[in-house]
Amino acid sequence: MIIRLDMQSDVPIYTQLMNQIIEGIASKQLAPGEYLPSVRSLASDIGVNLHTVNKAYTLLKQEGFIQIHRQKGVVVNPDGMPGITPDYQHKQEAQLRPVIAEAICRGMDKAELLRIVESFYDEITQEPKENA
């Protein structure tokens, strides 16, 4: 899996790294039980501070996406992904609401917004797009 970070973005590097790893898991580029690079190795490979990678890994562990073992290293959670919890649902609603509101303010209709969401979903899961 290739990690792409935008060093000029307003989004913190650790958040971008987390998002890339989660997308890698969602797209099946990273399989349950698959090993990830160590904190030092990944930091060196992508050219960021090791504390940045450590923060991303720590948050991914807290969310249940990865496991960290002293001897074995970092591994995509072999027991499956975390489920939908009320906290997760609240977090998603809090993040999506302003995005949807801005889209409406800019004149995007519901059909276009849903088309974009479906397009991203299909791209990540690599589901074939229906001919519309």
CATH number at residue 41: 1.10.10.10
Quick check: is 45 in a domain? yes
Quick check: is 6 in a domain? no
- The Cα–Cα gap between 49 and 41 comes to 11
What pLDDT score was predicted for residue 1?
Answer: 81
What is the residue type of 16?
Q
What pLDDT score was predicted for residue 127?
Answer: 61
Same domain, 20 and 64: yes
Confidence of residue 80 (pLDDT cuts 50, 70, 90): confident
Strand (E) or helix (H) holding 111: helix 110-125
Residue 130 pLDDT greater than 60, yes or no: no
- The Cα–Cα gap between 18 and 47 comes to 16
- SS3 of 90, please? helix
How many separate domains does the chain show? 2
Same domain, 52 and 28: yes
Quick check: is 61 in a domain? yes
What pLDDT score was predicted for residue 132?
Answer: 46
Same domain, 49 and 69: yes
At 2-46, the pLDDT tens digits run 899 999 999 999 999 999 999 999 999 999 999 999 999 999 999
The upper half-sphere exposure of residue 38, i.e. CA atoms within 13 Å in the direction of its Cβ, equals: 8
Nearest to 42 by CA among 26, 11, 62, 66: 66
Look up the pTM and report it.
0.85
Query: Measured between alpha carbons, how far is residue 16 from residues 4, 49, 56 in Å?
Result: 8, 14, 9
Residue 71 pLDDT greater than 70, yes or no: yes
Q: Kindly report the average pLDDT of the chain as a whole number.
A: 93
Residue 129 pLDDT greater than 70, yes or no: no
Quick check: is 2 in a domain? no
Residues forming a β-bridge with 69 = 73
**Domain range enclosing 17:** 13-76
Strand (E) or helix (H) holding 75: strand 73-76
